Structure formats: structure tokens, C-alpha cells
Amino acid sequence: MKLYLDLIRWNRPAGWLLLLWPTLSALWIAADGFPGWHLLVVFTLGTILMRSAGCCVNDVADQDFDRHVKRTAQRPVTSGALSARAALGFGAALALAAFALVLTTNRTTVLWSFAALALALTYPFAKRFVSMPQAVLGVAFSFGIPMAFAAVQGSVPPQAWLLLLGNVFWVLAYDTEYAMVDRDDDLNIGMKTSAITLGRWDVGFVMLSYALFLLIWMLAFDGSAWTAAFFIAIAIAAGQALWHFQLIRERTRDGCFKAFRLNHWVGFAVFVGVVLGYGV
């Protein structure tokens, strides 16, 4: 059991929180307030399950690379403690459980879930061919947004795609910080990442991505819900982003990893602002 929990990073919830906050924010925006307990439970559990399934696929796909990276060498599949077949079987079971939750929504959401699954399976291999695979991850990690609108409204309006675009910039910011941690190892093994592609422009790109994320979400948010509480929450998120600049400016492993791990608080601040904007 411990191996399977390690496989899905159960003791490191920051990963699924990064997916959860924008998804829940999209639910609130799509519903003009509280979306109801059914959808709240479905998307919360579904996010955790799909993030965990993604870890299973990622670790199998990257096992040969992870052996050469200090931070990932002891992962269950990489170390040989868990077989690739067992990991994929567990991941499939988690994905099926998530799909069972989606089946309790509507046909539109079910159809979009197949696209979400395809993106989740594509990302682990993008790192071999795409100079900035973080962009692929950004779309995959943001796909709960159109699915949330589909579940609430039965369609995916332009507002959902604008929110997705904004969230992609947030993913680019925090996953570039993550890539900065492993830059030296990734260079040695030939992995492609945004940190390598951007070179000395990495820190500036991260800060620009934070700014675009917050600006686009402010523009996409319902103007009638622009309350003082919403703008205070956005200011708190922006303040955290500025703090992250202090953490990553010297490009140290510890500083960059700390910035990445704390990013879920940026998403949480935005989520709180959205909820308070609707007075719920």
C-alpha cells in the first residue's frame, strides 16, 4: 500500500491542489455561485483521481530518465520496487473511477472527458519532442475548466476558453519553476523543458506568465461580481507571485522547488476571490 501511495504522491497534495482550485473556480463562475454539492464532490474527487492516474502513467513513461535525476531516482517504478504493469493497472483503475463520476453528469461533459484523458496520456511523451512541454501540461492541467462549464451549462462558452488560456500561463509559471530545479539533470539526459529552452530568460518568463494569468482571469471574471473582496484576493495572489520572484531569482534548487510547492496558495487565493465575488 505504501508503494502505491508513494506512486500517486499522496503525501504531497500540492500536485492535485494545483488542478483543483482553477477547476472549482470555474464551477463557481459557470454556476454564478455555489454549483451544488453533487458537482462539487464529482469534480473534487475526479481531480484527485485523475491527477493520481497521471502520476502512474508519467512514472512509467519517464522511468529511464528518472534514474538519472536526483529528485526522482527513488520513485517506486524507477527504483524497481513496483512494476510498470502494476503501476499502469492501478492508474487505469483510478481513471475508470474518475470516469464513473463523470457519468453522473451530462453527455457533453462525458464527451469532453475523452479529450481530457487524451491530453493526460500525451503529456509524459511531450517532454521528448516539444521544446516547451509545459504548454502541453498547461492545457492538460486546465481542462477541468471547460468540463466544469459543460457540467453546469451543458456547453463550453468562450468565457471557459479564456479562463483556460489564463490558467495555461499559471501552469507555465509554476512548472517552469519546477523545471528549473532539474535543469542540470535534464540537460545531461536530453530532456526538453521550458527552463532549458528559455535559458537566462526563465525568471522573466515566469513573472510574465503570473501577470498574464491574473490579468486574463480578472478580465474573464463576471464584472458584476467584481467586489472589493475579489480584488483583495487577486492582490494577495499577486503578492505571492512577487515573493516567488525572490525565491527563484538566484535559480537555486531549494528556492525554485519551494516556489513550485507553494503555488497552490496562489490558486487558492484566486478561488477565494471568486467565491467571495459571488457572495457565497
Quote the pLDDT of residue 94: 95
C-alpha to C-alpha distance for 27 and 37, rounded to whole angstroms = 11
Quote the pLDDT of residue 99: 95
C-alpha to C-alpha distance for 20 and 145, rounded to whole angstroms = 10
Quote the pLDDT of residue 48: 94
Q: What angle do CA 117, 126, 162 make, to 5 degrees?
A: 60
C-alpha to C-alpha distance for 141 and 171, rounded to whole angstroms = 8
**Does the predicted TM-score (pTM) go above 0.75?**
yes
Segments in the chain below pLDDT 50: none
C-alpha to C-alpha distance for 12 and 266, rounded to whole angstroms = 17
Quote the pLDDT of residue 280: 61
Place of cell 502512474: 56
Map out the domains of the chain with their CATH numbers.
Answer: 2-277 (1.10.357.140)
| Cell numbers for 11 | 503525501
Quote the pLDDT of residue 66: 66
Quote the pLDDT of residue 25: 96
| Cell numbers for 218 | 480578472
